[in-house]
């Protein structure tokens, strides 16, 4: 029986979301003039709220504005690593660190499953001692530049569960031979929490707290 602990990242492990801060950090570090586009990102978010643009396309547009449509992976690597250091120093919940250590001691394979880009989730996960990352990929994941395009699905809601199941199949992990713990703060991860043998609502917003009470999922406050 394989023991797997799957963590959402933003507002589960971290105190605050990381995506907008990542884009701002990249613009400030690489091309501060791009900050003039910040008001446009607000209009893109409004378009998402109104259903005019989907979540994945909104990410692509925001990245094109604040980082660029195509940037050298080598050029941005130090800036991405610097952002990971910043997250670890300023934006990680002490309770999450304690739970991660507990799951590691219990022999769990530690996995982050995040809607954020693998580009910066991986260095954060490495610093936290995770074994695997399931995250939103760029279209050019395996080449020497980053394009403002998403490859496959945005790792969010039911798509996140599909990506976890695909990862398990790729790793040769049979569901019947795995004991899965899962942690998330948001109701959009209800498919994952329901899939897990132990689903935990960690720092839940109201909708997830209500659902957790109905489903009998433990509520954790980190």
Based on the structure, what is the number of domains in the chain? 1
Domain with 176 in it: what CATH number? 3.40.50.1000
Tell me which H or E stretch contains 19.
helix 19-30
Q: What distance in Å separates the CA atoms of residue 196 and residue 113, rounded to the nearest whole number? A: 13
For the segment 75-113, what is each residue's pLDDT rounded down to a tens digit? 999 999 999 999 999 999 999 999 999 999 999 999 999
For the segment 139-189, what is each residue's pLDDT rounded down to a tens digit? 765 668 888 888 889 999 999 999 999 999 999 999 999 999 999 999 999
Q: What distance in Å separates the CA atoms of residue 55 and residue 52, rounded to the nearest whole number? A: 10
For the segment 187-220, what is each residue's pLDDT rounded down to a tens digit? 999 999 999 999 999 999 999 999 999 999 999 9
- Give me the domain span that covers residue 156: 2-220
Contact 217, 196 (CB under 8 A): no
Tokens of 41: 């990102």
Q: What distance in Å separates the CA atoms of residue 139 and residue 147, rounded to the nearest whole number? A: 7
């Amino acid at each position: 029986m394989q023991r797997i602990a799957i963590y959402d990242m933003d507002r589960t492990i971290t105190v605050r979301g990381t995506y907008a801060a990542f884009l701002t950090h990249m613009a400030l570090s690489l091309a501060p003039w791009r900050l003039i586009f910040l008001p446009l990102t607000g209009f893109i978010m409004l378009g998402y709220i109104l259903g005019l643009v989907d979540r994945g396309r909104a990410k692509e547009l925001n990245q094109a504005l604040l980082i660029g449509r195509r940037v050298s992976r080598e050029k941005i690597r130090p800036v991405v690593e610097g952002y990971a250091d910043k997250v670890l120093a300023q934006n990680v919940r002490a309770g999450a660190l304690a739970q991660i250590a507990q799951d590691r001691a219990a022999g769990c394979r530690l996995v982050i499953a995040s809607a954020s880009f693998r580009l910066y989730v991986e260095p954060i996960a490495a610093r936290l001692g995770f074994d695997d990352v399931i995250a939103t990929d760029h279209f050019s994941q395996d080449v020497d530049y980053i394009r403002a395009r998403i490859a496959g699905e945005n790792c969010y809601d039911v798509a996140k569960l599909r990506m976890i199941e695909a990862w398990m199949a790729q790793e040769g992990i049979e569901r019947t031979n795995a004991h899965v713990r899962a942690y998330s703060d948001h109701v959009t991860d209800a498919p994952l929490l329901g899939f897990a043998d132990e689903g935990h609502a960690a720092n839940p917003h109201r909708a997830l707290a209500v659902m957790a009470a109905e489903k009998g999922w433990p509520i954790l406050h980190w």
